[in-house]
Structure formats: structure tokens, C-alpha cells
Structure 1
Amino acid sequence: MSGARAILIGGTGATGKPLVRELINSPHFIEITSLVRSVDLNVSSDKLRQVVVDFEKLENYKSEFEGKDVAFDVLGTTKKQAGSAERFIEIDYGYSAKFSELSKEAGVRSMHLLTSTGSNPNSWFLYPKTKGRLEEKMKADNFHFLSIFRPGFLERPNSDRFVENLIGKVMSGLKVEVLAKAMRIEAEKELLNVSDKNQVKVLSNSDIYKLVEQEK
């Protein structure tokens, strides 16, 4: 398949920005629709449409999902940024769950989801539990192909997250540019997949590095 149309959320975030650039530069994608709170003025392309939406009322934007082949969810926040545990769940799970439902309803063939290592719906901890619940939700939505990216520590440019900066001083992490490239590669591979059987693929750091190395 060639000339794919993609839709994504989280396109103005740390992973989303390099992912949007990867999709713009890919000859396999002819249109990228990025659902955003505010437009990123630092990126522009004839391929890219940045659509300002109210994520609380995402169902009002059903038309944006029509005719799309591939969906990417790289949306993410923290409890601190959200302001409370309840608000964190509303954003990190609620927005993404609705995005998944609308994508499936519109006939999107494949979903590529960014979560985190340790994601587990039965975890006692808020972050991995929420990410784990989201993974299970998207599995239940039964896309033809679902890839779940579970990176470990991510190196984000100009991060203001204290823990990330602290860890980054003692160990190297996965650069968000590498993660974005891997997500684009995996999506392109799936476009060529003619299997009738639905598939779920979970990728760890080592899988992500292998994908990128294979393209060199």
C-alpha cells in the first residue's frame, strides 16, 4: 500500500514532534492530521494538517478520522502536569481511549501506541496502571494491527522533568528521535502486511533499536 493517511495525538510533545517530522519526510505518507490543543508554528508541510480540537469533546471531530489508514498515539502527561491523579487519568487514559474508539469506528487499520516499560493494568502505581489499562483498551478495540511501544527511560531535549534529568546524568536513555523513527518504520512495515489475521506487537528498547538498525 502507498499513499497512506495518518492521524495522531500528542504531535506537539517530546516524541510527537520528531514523529511528525518522520512522517512528513516519509514517501509512504501523503497526509498527516495532527489533533492538537494549539498549533506548533515550528513545523509546516503541505502534507501536515494541524487541527485544533477540544479533547473533552473529541467525538465532535469524527470527520477528521474518516479515510485514515494509520493512527499514532504518543500523548502523555504526568500527575504533576495534570494537577491531580484524577485529571491525569482523564487525560492519559480518557483522551486516548476516545481516540482509539473513533479511529476504530472510522475504519483505521493500524494503531501505534506509546506507553512505557512496566505498563500493567494491575499495578499498584498510577502511571504503569493507567498505561496498562490503555493497552488493554486498545487491544479490545481490535485493530487489524496494534503495535505497543514500551521504551524505558527516554532522553527528551530540554526536559524540565527532575527525575529524567537526574537519571540522565548516570545512564543513557533512548532518544525520542530514535523512538519516533522506529514508530514510523513499524507503521510502514504494516502498510505492506497483507495478512488477514489481527496482530498485536509489543516492542521494548531492544526491539526499537533493532528496527532502526535494520533501516541503515
Structure 2
Amino acid sequence: MASASGLRAVVVGGTGGIGRFILGELVCSPAYTEVLSLCRKETTLPESFNATESDLKKLKQEIIDFDLEKLTVENCKSYFEGKDVLFVALSRTWNDSKRLPGRAIDNFKHVHVHLVVRCAEIAKAAGVRHVSMLSFSGANSTSMFDMMKVKGEADDAVEALGFERTSIWKPSLVNKGPNATFVEKLLKIFMKTIFVGDLGLTIRFESEQWALGKTEFPPVSRHEVRDILEIMRQAKEAEAKSKDNSDVPVAAAGGNETGEKQAADEQMGKQPTGQQPDCDQGSCGVAASENDDKQEE
């Protein structure tokens, strides 16, 4: 269970379109007292989080080299020691993979498998108990499609490390609001989506439920779209209840009255409170090639 001083997290990929919202949720949550972001460049939280000075004091951003020869247990174990949860949001889009020298599949796999698994291996060696990583709907190591196969290989490899708790998130198209790529905006016309702010809330909420012993989970959960929506519902209910019982908002997007909050939610790509995202298992089973959280190595 969590220590008396609160939860401590390390995040890799916290500068991307999804990772920034995970980072914001952790920084603004009372349950987390320390958040370390390992990154190639520093980032800022989305403005809609309204993070206080006290919140921001929890956050430390450490610029590191993601070269596999340098990203080793010997060099990086200290970053992970004493942490409760590793959140992995590293990603590279297929289009970016095609623009780089060499084969697109190798460039894609370098980030989605080699870097992801290496970070998880270091965390495991450092005693981190819970890994929570982004994948996407349809990922399967036996798939005939390269993207799905690669993501599935990463999922299998991280699960095989044997963390006390492994959470693998498999959303479909994620609505990143104004930060969406052209392809994502186009696909929104035809596909139902999960809002990026809601996904960040859900990932943070699940980690707290397990660490604080509030909910029992199996050792491994591969959260498909239907599972994500159910945990999201629970997270929103808990958030609303907390706000009813306190003048101080618990989660990042809170603190505004109804009209003001809805405007903030729209800006951050978050579904307004009280509304369920228009997504279901049947219509969200296919991940788009531009679905990824864009992140440098």
C-alpha cells in the first residue's frame, strides 16, 4: 500500500498530447506528493488544470538521454527508486516513423517496444510496484498489421516483467481537442472518441484506487474501451462527490462553476462533467495510425 507520505510517481512521455494530461492529473491530485517526469525537454501543464504553486512544487522534470546505450539500470535506477507507480506514455506516430531514416517499422518499434520495455525493466529493478502504460485498441502481438503487432509485443513484454500490478490502457481514437492532428480531426467525423482529459483522469484514478487499497484488481488488467468507460464513470462520480464535500477541488479540471467549467473542459478536450463520451466497444474497436501520443525518443 501507499506510504503515509503519499504516492510518488515517475512519468515517461509526459510531454506528449496524452502524457501532459496524465502529468497534470498527478500533479493536481492530493494523493500524489511527488511526480518526476523523465523527458527530453521540459513541458508545461495544460492551462485548464489551474495548478497551484503548491501543486507545482510536487513536479520535478529531469531531462535525460533516451539512447538505449545510456538508458540502463546502472545509469537510471536512481530516478525510479522510492516511486510507487511508473506511467508510460512514450509514443511515436507512424507518419513520424516513416519520415526518419531506415524502415518505418523499425523506427516505430524503437519507441513503442525498446524504449517502453527498457523503462519498465529499470522500474522493476528499482522496486516500483505498479506500471500503467498506454497502448491502443486492437493491439495484439499476433496481428497481421504492423502497428497492432508492435504495440501488442510491448504489452506482452511489460506484462511478463511481473509487476505487482500492471495496467495496460487500450483506448481507441483519443480526442485531443485543439491539439489533434489533421487526421484525428478528420476521423472524429466518422469515429466516436474518448476525450483526452477524461482518459488522464481515469488513469490517475485507477492508480489511486489500487495503491490506497480502495479497489481490488487482478495483477494484470488490459483495459479495453468498455473497461475504460466504466472506470471513467467511477472517477467522475468520485470527483463530483469530493467537490460536493469540499470547497477545494480535488482534480485538475475542477474549481469552476458550471458554465466556466464546461468552457475549460472544451478547451482541454475533456467531456463536460455529467455527460458520457459517445463511445462504445462496437464503434471504438479500431485504432487510427495517428492515434498516438506524439513524443520524441
Superposed pair shares fold, TM > 0.5: yes
Q: Which residue of 1 aligns with 2:81?
A: 66
Query: Is contact 1:116–1:151 with CA below 8 Å preserved after alignment?
Result: yes
1:146-199 residue CA offsets vs partner (Å, 9 max, x unmatched): 011100111113345343221112333001111111100110011023999961
Query: How many angstroms apart in 2 are the aligned matches of 1:15 and 1:90?
Result: 19
Query: Is contact 2:173–2:191 with CA below 8 Å preserved after alignment?
Result: no
Structural RMSD (CA) = 2.1
Q: Structure 1 residues 196 and 96, CA, compared in 2 at 3 Å: closer, same or farther?
A: same
Residue 136, structure 1, aligned to residue 149, structure 2: no
Q: Which runs of 5+ in 2 are unaligned?
A: 238-297
With 62-71 and 160-169 compared, the bigger mean Cα shift is at 160-169
With 145-154 and 159-168 compared, the bigger mean Cα shift is at 159-168
- Paired amino acid for 2:66: F
Q: Structure 1 residues 76 and 104, CA, compared in 2 at 3 Å: closer, same or farther?
A: same
1:94-151 residue CA offsets vs partner (Å, 9 max, x unmatched): 1101001001000000011110000111112221111100111111100000011100
TM-score relative to the length of structure 1: 0.93
2:57 to 46, 49, 56: 46
- Paired amino acid for 1:89: K
State the identity %.
Answer: 32
Q: Structure 1 residues 107 and 194, CA, compared in 2 at 3 Å: closer, same or farther?
A: farther
Q: Which residue of 2 aligns with 1:75?
A: 90
Query: Is contact 1:143–1:198 with CA below 8 Å preserved after alignment?
Result: no
Q: Which residue of 2 aligns with 1:166?
A: 186
With 38-47 and 91-100 compared, the bigger mean Cα shift is at 38-47
- Paired amino acid for 2:64: V
Query: How many angstroms apart in 2 are the aligned matches of 1:196 and 1:78?
Result: 34
Q: Which residue of 2 aligns with 1:187?
A: 207
Q: Structure 1 residues 184 and 195, CA, compared in 2 at 3 Å: closer, same or farther?
A: closer
Query: Is contact 1:142–1:198 with CA below 8 Å preserved after alignment?
Result: no
| SS in structure 2 of the partner of residue 34 of structure 1 | strand
Q: Structure 1 residues 171 and 122, CA, compared in 2 at 3 Å: closer, same or farther?
A: closer
Query: Is contact 2:210–2:217 with CA below 8 Å preserved after alignment?
Result: no
* Shift of residue 46, structure 1, vs aligned partner: 0.4
1:31 to 31, 34, 59: 34
Query: How many angstroms apart in 2 are the aligned matches of 1:67 and 1:52?
Result: 19
1:55-98 residue CA offsets vs partner (Å, 9 max, x unmatched): 11222222101111111111111122132221111111111010
How many residues are matched? 216
With 185-194 and 156-165 compared, the bigger mean Cα shift is at 156-165
Q: Which residue of 2 aligns with 1:125?
A: 145
